[in-house]
Amino acid sequence: MSPDALVRLHSDLVYRVALRVTGSAEDAADAAQEALVSVWRHGAAVPADRQRAWAARVGRNAALDLVRRRAVRPRPILSDVALDPACSGPLPDAAAEEADLRAGLAEALGGLGEPFRSLVVLRDVEGLAYDEISEALGLPLTTVKVYLHRARTRLRAALQTSVPDLVPCP
């Protein structure tokens, strides 16, 4: 596959991972651009069945490098569409509850440290398989599973604190 085709294939994934790690669209764009240069240069050397995980890893690493360089604490991601009651459905109460839950989830996700945040993003947001996450983060498969469980437990606890009426008890 040509380098241009690899960049087109993986650009959305790389950007979404960078966005979740940095918490800023501007920072994510910078990190994604840097990561996609690596995908363009080195992607052809990666076996086809491993390219998705490798691209996610490159995007995550570029975002983490940017955060470290700028000493930026990741901010929560809030979708304008999710916060717009007109886009959420006919019931204003349901829209407000959904917006509160999304804001609480974004805040809780932003409060997770690494690698927990990346694990949740790669598995629950991007839908990568456990073996792809293992490869992307350079962690053993059992560690991925254990850390993901811990990350979800921490997210649940943070959500129960920030929006207790909207999160059911475990």
What are the structural domain ranges in the chain?
3-70, 90-162
* Residue predicted with more confidence, 98 or 13: 13
What is the predicted pLDDT for the residue at 23? 84
* CATH code, residues 90-162: 1.10.10.10
Counting every residue, how long is the chain?
170
CATH level 3 topology of 3-70: Rna Polymerase Sigma Factor; Chain: A (1.10.1740)
| CA distance linking residue 6 with residue 110, whole number of Å | 29
Rounded to whole angstroms, the Cα distance separating 51 from 143 reads 22
- Would the pLDDT of 101 be above 80? no
Cα–Cα distance for residue pair 101/76, rounded to 1 Å: 13
Instruction: Please tell me the distance from the alpha carbon of residue 151 to that of residue 12, in angstroms, as a whole number.
Output: 24
The predicted structure's pLDDT at residue 92: 58
Q: What percent of the chain has pLDDT over 90?
A: 29
C-alpha triplet 11, 39, 114: angle, nearest 5°: 75
Q: What is the mean pLDDT of residues 74-79?
A: 52
Q: End-to-end distance of the chain based on CA atoms, in angstroms?
A: 46
Q: Residue 58: what pLDDT?
A: 93
Distance CA 79, CA 89 (A): 16
Confidence band for 88, pLDDT divided at 50, 70 and 90:
very low
Residue 23 · residue 67 · CB < 8 Å? no
